[in-house]
Amino acid sequence: MMQSDIFDEIKNIDEVRKIDDLYLVVDGEPNSEYSVESIILEINKKFWTITVNHNFDEIELKVYTCLPNKAIQQRYSNNLSSLKGLEIGTMFAIVNERGYTDGIKLMLYDHSLKESKTNPFFAVLTIIASASGVQYELRKTGVDTYLV
């Protein structure tokens, strides 16, 4: 079995992981051709920064108590801002056959729907390491919905 240590910084922390804010850190102008250097999720007054370790072409998750200066200067709101207020449920590491962590999947839930007795599943956010930075996809349908 392949194992990944990507979640070591947040493992065994018993707290609700509600997304308070979300930023993309980009290389270039947001209105032009640009690459996403990192995705930052603000959760419980901490900043989960998802980046690529270019030495290994592997996805990394680091937790900070304040934003790094570069992130402050290059961050901007984006089409993922609709994820504010959602909770992260199960997280999966995407590990290749050589044992490198190529990406992660975050199961997202809207627990305000519980009151209406609707399934709280919202979507799956998949984040993958690429040579130019991180790529992401938000899907509300597909095989990942069966992981709920």
Kindly list the domain boundaries of the chain, sorted by start residue.
Answer: 19-147
Q: Which two tokens stand for residue 132?
A: 């130019």
Residue predicted with more confidence, 54 or 4: 54
Which strand (E) or helix (H) includes residue 74?
Answer: helix 69-74
Query: Which residues, 6+ apart, have CB-to-CB distance to 104 below 8 Å?
Result: 6, 50, 59, 61, 91, 92, 93, 94, 126, 127
For 115-148, how does the pLDDT look when each residue is reduced to its tens digit (9 = 90+)?
666 778 899 999 999 888 899 999 988 777 676 5
Average pLDDT, the chain: 84
For 38-65, how does the pLDDT look when each residue is reduced to its tens digit (9 = 90+)?
999 999 999 999 999 989 889 999 999 9
The answer to whether residues 44 and 18 touch, using CB atoms and an 8 Å cutoff, is yes
For 79-92, how does the pLDDT look when each residue is reduced to its tens digit (9 = 90+)?
788 899 999 999 99
Distance from C-alpha of 15 to C-alpha of 74, rounded to nearest angstrom: 29
pLDDT at 57: 87
